[in-house]
Amino acid sequence: MPENQNRLIQEISQVNDNVVVVLQNGSVVAMPWIHQVKAILETYLAGETVGEATWDVLKGTVNPSGKLAETFPQRVEDNPTALTFNASTIDENYREGLFVGYRYYDKKKLAPLFPFGHGLSYTTFAYQDLTVEEKENNFILTVTLSNTGKVAGSEVVQVYISNQTSNIEKPEKELKQFEKVYLEPNETKKVKIVLDDSAFMWYNVDKKDWQIDDGSYLVQVGSSSADIRLTQEVTIQKGTKTHPEVTSDTYIADIMKRDDLKDLIATTEFGKTLNNLIGDDSNSKMLENIPLRAAEMMGFSPAQVKAFIDKANEK
């Protein structure tokens, strides 16, 4: 924001402790005065009737129910683009990849000023009794939502999926569905949300196709990306097996953890030797960071290492 506006807010708040700031902005702004004001109403660029609409919210005629579609950082420097933005007079290079918005702040464990999906109202909502049922190739989520305040209002129930399975670069969680629900004071409703296969998929660049992997996923339901109220684990059993290809760079410890390779380890000389080494407490920690190619230093030939890798990938 222009510095004179920041200064005006700060000076007014020094002589009046009941200040509400109404923002009219096209993007995230820094708020150095945030702890000096009672409330902030975000209106963005709402068009020619924004004045009347804002007045209705401030008077309490309308209970606000909007949610942020972006993350407000505590500092401009917290943005993932801070290292590269404006560095060149010709190009702007965005290097975040998948980690844009809340995905970046989740991964960095960096608390924002206001998280994605955040939005208060003149009432409060309680979440209870999350159930997840697989039915007709979909997952049916049911959650009990209650208006626990004294004012009618709407809540946006947000569903995030956390992939616990795929061995890929991925966010901590991703928004996959949401539902806006209106409730009178003390009213309770069961909210049903349907998730299809796309909620659990990732794009495999090598195969040029979307992929869903068998394994564990967390269904997280909440009021914002940082305010998860309920969580339930689900298991997918209709997709691709998730074991990655074994290469000479695969860590020995990762090989030993794989259930699908237990028979191979137990029946081959190569596997038995690795098992004996990993079973020695003095070696176990060291082997966590040693790749298969290092087996040559243990007396195995390159051909023996390759033969084991080939058999592992057949498994």
CATH number for position 146: 2.60.40.10
Supply the pLDDT for residue 283: 62
One domain for residues 232 and 162 = yes
Indicate if 230 and 130 belong to the same structural domain.
Answer: yes
Which residue blocks in the chain are alpha helix, DSSP H? 3-15, 50-59, 102-108, 252-257, 262-267, 269-279, 281-287, 302-314
Please state, in angstroms and rounded to a whole number, the distance separating the CA atoms of residues 201 and 212.
5
Same domain, 77 and 157: no
Identify whether residues 48 and 90 lie together within a single domain: yes
Residue 85 resides in a domain: yes
**pLDDT in the model for residue 288:** 64
- Amino acid identity, position 200: F
Residue 267 to residue 80: CA distance in whole angstroms: 49
Distance set, CA 288 to CA 15, 43, 250, 283, 315 (Å): 62, 52, 10, 9, 22
Inside any domain, residue 199: yes
Structural domain that includes position 289 = 252-314
Weakly modelled stretches of the chain, pLDDT under 50: none
DSSP 213: B
With CA atoms as reference, report the closest residue to 236 among 217, 254, 253.
217
**In this structure, are 161 and 230 located in the same domain?**
yes
CATH code for the domain in which residue 43 is found: 3.40.50.1700
Inter-residue contact 195 to 177 (CB < 8 Å) = yes
Of 236, 264, 280, the residue at which a domain comes to its end is: 236
Looking at residue 280, its pLDDT comes to 60
Q: Are 129 and 231 in a shared domain?
A: yes
Any residues with CB less than 8 A from the CB of 16 and at least 6 apart, and which?
none
- Give per-residue burial for 258-293: e unless 16+ CB within 10 Å, then b: beebeebbeebebbebbeebbeeeeeeeebeebebe
Judgement on whether residues 45 and 87 belong to the same structural domain of the protein: yes
Instruction: Give the pTM.
Output: 0.81
Beta strands per DSSP E along 43-99: none
Residue 113 falls within a domain, yes or no?
no
Ordered DSSP codes for 246-279: P-TTSBHHHHHH-GGGHHHHHHSHHHHHHHHHHH
* Residue of 71, 74, 70, 77 whose CA lies nearest to 113: 74
Indicate whether 275 and 307 sit together in one domain. Answer: yes
Number of domains in the chain: 3
Asked if residue 190 is part of any domain, the answer here is yes
Last residue of a domain, one of 177, 204, 236: 236
pLDDT (0 to 100) of residue 167: 85
Whether residues 86 and 44 fall in one domain: yes
Of the residues 61, 76, 108, the one at which a domain ends: 108
What pLDDT is stored for residue 140 in this prediction? Answer: 97
Answer yes or no: is 167 within a domain.
yes
Does residue 63 fall inside a structural domain?
Answer: yes
Rounded percentage of the chain residues whose pLDDT exceeds 70? 95
- Cα separation, 128 vs 253, in Å, equals 41
245 lies in some domain: no
**Is 242 inside a domain boundary?**
no
Q: Say if residue 146 is in the same domain as residue 184.
A: yes
Q: Does 205 lie in the same domain as 133?
A: yes
Q: What is the pLDDT of residue 110?
A: 96
Tell me: do 132 and 104 sit in the same domain. Answer: no
Closest CA to 184 of 156, 229, 145: 145
pLDDT (0 to 100) of residue 233? 97
* CA proximity to 27, closest of 14, 49, 44: 44
Q: What is the pLDDT of residue 313?
A: 86
200, burial (CB in 10 Å: exposed 0-12, middle 13-18, buried 19+): buried
